[in-house]
Amino acid sequence: MSHALPSQFGGVTVHTKANVYFDGRVVSHTVLMPDGVKKTLGLIYPGSYHFGTAAPERMEIVDGSCQVVLDGQSAQASYTAGQAFEVAGKSGFTIEVKSGICQYICTFL
């Protein structure tokens, strides 16, 4: 799944306190869209990290690359800038960044 990603969001509310995970290896900021949709914009430094999901979410890769394994699956998929993947609610995924920084937009569906 590949499409043009937005380079900016207008008319939003941004939480100033970051969401910091894995000793700062994954950091994001929460953005509330005018229509109430919640997104996070974040950075993932090299490493492998597991995240659980409460609600379904869509992860769009803005820059860099990552490898992802969805919970309950063994297949690993690679994603680069302009690509996206979705994760079911009450599930999770392992995301690995081999080098550089992976930047993402997460939308809570």
Q: Which of 1-5, 32-36, 42-46, 75-79 has the lowest mean pLDDT?
A: 1-5
pLDDT of residue 39: 98
Summarised one tens digit per residue, pLDDT across range 40-87 is 999 999 999 999 999 999 999 999 999 999 999 999 999 999 999 999
Q: Which domains does the chain have, with CATH numbers?
A: 13-108 (2.60.120.10)
The β-bridge partners of 59 are: 85, 106
Asked whether the predicted pLDDT for residue 102 surpasses 80, the reply is: yes
pTM, full prediction: 0.94
